[in-house]
Amino acid sequence: MRIPILKLHNYLLISIQIDLDDQSAIQFQEDLLNEIHKSGATGVVIDLTSVDIIDSFIAKVLGDVVTMSGLMGARVVLTGIQPAVAMTLIELGIHMHDVPTALDLEQGLIKLRQELEG
C-alpha cells in the first residue's frame, strides 16, 4: 500500500492512515526521499494520529527517515503520537531522543516554520 505525500509550499505533509506492514514502511521511506529530492522541500510533517502501534521495526524506519531527510536538507517533525504508543515505545526501550515531535499537525507546521524561517 502506498502512502500519499502532499505538497504545500515548501513542505511535504503525510498522514499515515494504515496499519504499517514492513514493506509499506520501507516503500514510504523511499517515496519520501524521492519526493524531497524532486520537490526541494525543506520541511516534512509526518502525522501519526491514526497509528495505534509502533513496534521496533517501524520505529527504526521512522528514525532513519528523519536522519536521511536531514542529510538531504529537509527537517522532519513527527506529530500526533498517541499516548498508548508513546508509552509502549518507552517500554520497548526506544526513546527517539533526536527526533523532533509536536502535538498535532498544526503545531508541527508552526515548529517547522520557526526553525526554518527563524
Partner 1 sequence: MDFKPCVTIRKEWDIVGARQLGRKHAKELGFGTVDQARIATAISELARNIYLYARTGTICFEVIDELDKKGLKIVAKDNGPGIRDISQVMQDGYSTSGGLGAGLPGVKRLMDFFEIRSDSEKGTEIEAIKWLR
Binding site for partner 1 (CB under 8 A): 19, 21-23, 52-57, 59-60, 82-85, 87-88, 91-94
Q: How far is the C-alpha of 72 from the C-alpha of 62, rounded, in Å?
A: 15
Q: Is residue 22 close enough to count as binding ligand ATP by CB under 6 A?
A: no
Report the partner that residue 118 touches, choosing among ligand ATP, partner 1, none (CB closer than 5 to 8 A by kind).
Answer: none
Q: What are phi and psi of 69, to 5 degrees?
A: -60, -40
Is the separation of the CB atoms in 13 and 42 below 8 Å?
no
Residue with smaller CB distance to partner 1, 26 or 105:
26
The torsion angles phi and psi of 48, rounded to 5 degrees, stand at -115, 20
Closest approach of partner 1 to the CB of residue 14, in Å = 19
Residue found by looking up cell 511535504 in the block: 12
Distance, in Å, from the CA atom of 80 to the CA atom of 21, rounded to the nearest integer, reads 19
Q: Could you tell which of ligand ATP, partner 1, none binds residue 22, using a CB distance below 5 to 8 A set by kind?
A: partner 1
Binding status of residue 57 toward ligand ATP by CB under 6 A = yes
Calpha distance 112→95 (Å, rounded): 21
Of residues 17 and 56, the one with the C-beta less far from ligand ATP: 56
# residues near ligand ATP by CB under 6 A: 2
